[in-house]
Amino acid sequence: MAFFVKFKEEIRFKAGLRLMIGWEGNELREPLKLIEEFSPAGLIFFRRNYPPGGANELRDQLAALQRRALELTGRPLILALDNEGGLVKRLPPPHIQLPGANEQAERGAVLTRSMAFSSGQELKELGFNLNLAPVLDLMVPEAIMAKRAYGQEPERVIHLAQAFVSGFREAGVFCCGKHFPGLGAALEDPHQVVSTVNLSQAQLRDHLKPFAALIEKGLAAIMTSHCLYPGLGLKEMATFSPEIMALLRNELNFEGLALSDDLEMGAVANQQKIGQAALEALRVGHDLVLICRKRPLIEETHRILVESLVVGPLKSERFGPSFTRLESFLQGLKNDF
């Protein structure tokens, strides 16, 4: 009996280790419940989660979450947020308000690194350890990412994005580049619908250059996109494409964490059940899947992953490379304590 209890608990932890999840409110009890019930690898913070007590309350909340995770699982939490600057930042004033990528580009790499370091120091002091930025997509003027991208030329994007990453890393915060293999030419927003990147294979090679360059510099994590890439001869969106993951792992030799974008976005949620989408994203090679808001979807997904780790397509991966990468990353975080 003791063996089966231990096995059940191990599988529950393994399922949670593949999740980064969010919550609705700004009270500590909600994310604490998520930790206690699902043992996720990480939590993702949004503006809606900012507590009324400001920075001091937020710092106390994040510290309490880390303590509880360590008590229950022996491993620290990834505590993440999107802090690109400009249109995408989660902390209100008086916290540091980074300018957007366009303005960072105008100020240059030296100032971008300095601003990133200052912001990173603040995030680190609050308790965050992963910034879901920078955007590595090339800017296409009429496309949805135009205001969030550093520029149209790969070399310019590489130069500025590396400055951004270096500043945060020097402050003790890891970065996640996005949205692989490039969202820059998408005309429709994946938050609403499945978008198509209508570029040829040769054009897409240019869009891969920033990812390749930052991978060579040791980028910790990469997020894929909910987009279709017919120029690569693929029928599935990147989230569910083994070919996209092979491109990332085998051709670009990426050894860090591969994250899905939020599975609650319309591009996915309007097409299929979130639990099955999570299973498929993990099956093709993602290390973590993001479910950023709705508790019932987290419950559904965790249940499906537990079943899959016992008798389904993830059974053979219980001790596979994704778990090795996750455990290595989390061990690096634990060294900070």
In tens, the pLDDT along 203-240 reads 999 999 999 999 999 999 999 999 999 999 999 999 99
Alpha carbons 165 and 162: distance in angstroms, whole number: 5
Please tell me which residue in 261, 262, 287, 302 is annotated as part of the active site. Answer: 261
pLDDT at 9: 78
Q: List, for residues 77-128, the tens digit of each pLDDT value.
A: 999 999 999 999 999 999 999 999 999 999 999 999 999 999 999 999 999 9
First CA to last CA across the chain, in angstroms?
35
Coil, strand or helix: which one is 191? coil
When divided into structural domains, the chain yields a total of: 1
**Of 1, 35, 11, nearest to 303 (Cα)?**
11
pLDDT at 7: 62
What's the CATH code of the domain at 267? 3.20.20.300
Alpha carbons 112 and 108: distance in angstroms, whole number: 6
Q: Is the C-alpha dihedral spanning 33, 84, 238, 162 positive or negative?
A: negative
pLDDT at 35: 97
Read off the tokens for 261.
């974008």
Domain encompassing residue 182: 2-334
Per the annotation, the verdict on 286 as an active-site residue is no
Strand partners, 305: none
Per the annotation, the verdict on 261 as an active-site residue is yes
123 contacts 132 by C-beta, under 8 angstroms: no
Read off the tokens for 33.
């419940």
Alpha carbons 21 and 36: distance in angstroms, whole number: 13
Establish whether the linkage from the previous residue to 191 is cis, with ω within 30° of 0. Answer: no
Coil, strand or helix: which one is 39? coil
Coil, strand or helix: which one is 196? strand
**Of 113, 185, 101, 213, nearest to 151 (Cα)?**
101
Residue 224 sits at the vertex; the CA angle it makes with 221 and 225, to the nearest 5 degrees, is: 150
Coil, strand or helix: which one is 291? strand
In the predicted model, residues of the chain with pLDDT beneath 70 are 1-7, 316, 318-319, 335-337
